[in-house]
Structure 1
Amino acid sequence: MTAAGSAQERLLVVDDDPRIRQMLTRYFEGEGYAVTAVADGVAMRDELARQDFSALFLDLVLPGGEDGLSLARTVRSQSDIPILMLTGRDDVVDKVVGLEVGADDYIAKPFHLREVLARLRSILRRRQPQQAPVVEAPPASEAHPPLRFDGWVLDVDRRKLVCPKGEEIILTTGEFDMLVVLVRNAGRVMSRERLMDLTRNRNLEAFDRTIDAQVARLRRKIEADSADPQFIKSVRGVGYIFTGRVT
């Protein structure tokens, strides 16, 4: 086993092409991950119900009447597992829709396995709580105090968002990173290009609708009325500004 993967990092591959399933299984097992590969949404649901996974590779086009986008939407409504969409269509609209339903990344076929590994590692690394050195670091509350705005608590170290009612709000990796950047820059107009620079650790093109899709999903989770947002406001022709009172 390599240092990259661990026994706790199990991947689920959903693709109707047996060659793709075999290729990804062999490669990621060689990198130290445990891999389960299935051909359709029915088998995917069975595996997700049976065990936990660290990430899901999901083909866009699948047999049986369910495509990857509908399956991603279902998975995201029940879990925050990272979803990496696989597709033979390198289309901007597909990418935007994939991000809108909650995918964390979008990978076009044919792909280089090392690039796929790098994207997976980036997403898994960003999901890990930040840990300070054991001996020299001050208490976490002093080193990285939570960010608070209007009753909300954004704990960057633990990667948790708690609403004023005390309930944890589940965010995807991309949504959490976007919110952290906006909150840390409260009162400052952030262009879409700047938001992409500060939030991406992956090779996604910095087109405007990618950012818009992330913001739209965030608004649905933190705004009382996503159609009339009070925290994340649009700045026409530029980008977005976070207007909550941050402490």
Structure 2
Amino acid sequence: MKQTLTTEQLQQIENKLYNDYDFYYDDSKYEIIDHIASEIEDQMQTSTFQFAFDTVFDQWKSKLQETEWNGKYFYGEFKIPFFYKQQLTQNFRKDIFLWILASVLVPGIFFIFKDSMELETINSTVYIYKIIVFAIAVFLNIYTLKKYENGNYTTVYGQIAAYSNKKMLISLCALSIFFIFIPQNSIKYEESLNLWLVTLLFFSAFYFSFIIKYCNYFRHLKLVNKMKRAKFNF
């Protein structure tokens, strides 16, 4: 008959995850514990708990250790266990696609219709666009960091949003002076329009890189709701 682990033994698994691997992501903690516990129970049919415990954790060691991945250059450097890599890589590709699309959309529209628009209209429209993008970035910076730090759950997506917030608010505001307010009404000659569009593209790429990272907080919220429903059903 298959043995079932006791509460104390399950706690021992959780302690091992925290102490040896600094594993604190709530979204997958219970799933990982369940997998490890099931494998230990299988091995306990022919061995002791401690032997099965050590054997299974040896098998899981490579999956639980931190790993390098390309997303760190976009999201920032934070701890990521190996088994998270595939899932995060898929979302990383989606975020890169959205970042590129968001960055080129408005500059591309102005490039297409620049010959049919008055310079004054371009100046005023772009100024409003920059203010809106800047306001969204600042709001998400403050909102996501405050909400995540005051929350009760830790997820890898919450870590992305929080990591992107640290010490960035001052930089976002300071650079807005050079991106938004100094260049206001700076388009005076049609000959300089293409060069100006390049600076608009750079502005969009810079601020949308943070907006997209902050939006990982909403992925965090989806995982939190999923965990709450799982607990309720349990």
Normalising TM by the smaller chain, what interval?
Answer: under 0.3
Rg larger in structure: 2
Q: Choose between structure 1 and 2: higher helix proportion.
A: 2
Greater RCO (Cα-Cα under 8 Å, separation 6 or more):
2
Normalised TM-score (structure 1)? 0.26
